[in-house]
Amino acid sequence: MQHFNVPIKKLKDTAIIPSYGTDFSAGADLYACIDAPITIAPGETYLVPTGISIETPEGYGAFLFARSGLATKKGLAPANKVGVVDSDYRGEVMVALYNQSKVSATIEPQERIAQMVFLPYVAANFIEVEALSETVRGEGGFGSTGTK
């Protein structure tokens, strides 16, 4: 397992530094940095501050995923499904939580609201061409490779 240092800045005294639940957790928990509980109505999105900013290493992105417990127990998950913190972003890490359930859900101060996973990426050079190589699949789209 690879480790690297990620500089982090607390923007508020009550902010909690991300932490891993176990030695083998892929995602570090992010915590709500709020002064009072917030209630998110069904179908509503709320931008939850974490009170931190980070310096993601060059060549990596910090990807924000749902916490399975929050999604299954309260129906709350990131509105954009996966948030992306680029290596050149220095603002506050925010989590847009969407209530996909049929009942209101409350987030408490310092509650775990998402998990952050660092993943390497490769930047593409896009080259315009007249034609692409042929494949067996061709232009078959959604569901075209499965069976009934």
Angstrom distance (rounded) from CA 105 to CA 40? 5
- The pLDDT of residue 71: 93
- The pLDDT of residue 138: 79
Nearest C-alpha neighbor of 114 from the set 98, 138, 137, 90:
98
Question: Per-residue pLDDT tens for 100-144?
Answer: 999 999 999 999 999 999 999 999 999 999 999 998 877 777 666
**Residue 71, phi then psi, degrees to nearest 5:** -70, -40
Q: Rounded to 10 degrees, what is the CA torsion of 4, 31, 21, 74?
A: -140
- The pLDDT of residue 146: 66
96 exposed, middle or buried (CB, 10 Å; 0-12, 13-18, 19+)?
A: middle
Largest pairwise CA distance in the chain: 58
Question: Per-residue pLDDT tens for 44-74?
Answer: 999 999 999 999 999 999 999 999 999 999 9
Q: How many residues in the chain?
A: 148
Angstrom distance (rounded) from CA 25 to CA 15? 21
- The pLDDT of residue 137: 78
- Kindly report the CA angle at 84 between 46 and 124, in degrees rounded to 5? 150
- The pLDDT of residue 136: 83
Domain 8-120 has CATH 3.40.190.10: no
Structural domain boundaries in the chain: 8-120
- The pLDDT of residue 147: 62
Take residue 135 and report the two structure tokens written for it: 């494949």
Question: Per-residue pLDDT tens for 3-16?
Answer: 899 999 999 999 99
